[in-house]
Amino acid sequence: MKVIKTIGQLRRYRGGLTGSVGLVPTLGFLHQGHLSLVNKSVTDNDYTIVSVFVNPTQFGPDEDFESYPRDTGRDLALLEAAQADAVFLPDAAEVYPPSADTTVVPGQIAERLEGASRPGHFRGVATVVLKLLNLAQPHNAYFGQKDAQQLAVIRKIAADLNVPVRIVAMPTVREADGLAMSSRNSYLSPTERQAATVLYRSLKMAEEFISRGQTDADIIKNRMAAMIEAEPLAEIDYISIAEAGSLRETVDIKQPFLVSLAVKIGRTRLIDNFISE
Ligand code: AMP
């Protein structure tokens, strides 16, 4: 496995490849969710490039950029075992030299939900992902459904800016009790870890209501809110039932829809969702 630190090295490495290339962008501190993307890319492509980069521009000033968990040695061992071909592990100064002041501003779809709670977040995501796509020039790029809005934003950028890549979505990988795997789960104390299952439990309840024919989004959101509010360590940021394409909030639920939520458990902000078929 090749460990690549600079843009020049990545360009040279990519230039020497013949055959299909898959890209898996990550912030690192890898878990089985990330590895499911890597495994899929390794199966689908002749070469898999994984980026491990805690992208400063997608964190707000009061967010956890500094404390975001990092373990490069462990990440490299996991990627080697998963048979990734190359890991792009740049410094922030390599990705954002002082002269760089161009950013990618995604449209409407980035303004709701996470975009409303985390101003500028998707601008940071869009900019770094477009840069990674331009550098790695993959045939396929892999993203998790866990970050449903991020996936929608990236699909939109690829379509709107005519990026020649296929965006592949992979299902959310969960712990045995349903908690979606996330690098941020490492922040949780044992009691918080227990409380964090409320996100998944509330989504399962919503899924059950909808499968029984309930189409009133407010009724379902109120039931989810009541369940989460009963958990003393949980504080709701948002609960949304939206049209899956536009992410516009829906009143009367129709397919395809996305139920998503952001909840703080203690000081840790977690997100989760489920999407209709
Ligand atoms: P991150 O390092 O959190 O930015 O995640 C990198 C990629 O892995 C993104 O496309 C995420 O959506 C995806 N991912 C993160 N957690 C999971 C999970 N539990 N299941 C599936 N994909 C995930």
Please give the radius of gyration of the chain, using alpha carbons only, rounded to the nearest integer: 19
180 lines ligand 1 (CB under 6 A): yes
Taking only the tens place, the pLDDT of each residue in 198-254 is 999 999 999 999 999 999 999 999 999 999 999 999 999 999 999 999 999 999 999
Stated pTM of the model: 0.98
Catalytic residue list: 34
Ligand 1 mean position, distance from CA 170 (Å): 9
Axis crossing angle, helix 121-136 with helix 148-160, rounded to the nearest 10: 60
Ligand 1 atom 18, closest CA:
33
Strand order, beta sheet including 21-26: 2-4, 86-88, 47-52, 21-26, 140-144, 166-170
Q: What are residue 57's phi and psi, to 5 degrees? A: -75, -10
* Of 251, 254, 271, 175, nearest in space to 210 by CA: 254
Write out pLDDT tens, residues 91-104.
Answer: 999 999 999 999 99
Residue owning the nearest CA to atom 8 of ligand 1: 34
Residues forming a β-bridge with 212: none
Q: How confident is the model at residue 277 (pLDDT cuts 50, 70, 90)?
A: confident
**55 CB within 6 A, ligand 1:** no
Average pLDDT over residues 185-207: 98
Does the CB atom of residue 125 touch ligand 1 within 6 A? no
Atom of ligand 1 nearest to the CA of 173: 20
Mean pLDDT value across the chain: 98
> What is residue 251's predicted lDDT score, i.e. its pLDDT?
98
Query: Distance from the CA of 103 to the center of ligand 1, in angstroms?
Result: 23
Identify the helix (H) or strand (E) that includes residue 241. strand 234-243
Q: What is the mean pLDDT of residues 65-89?
A: 98
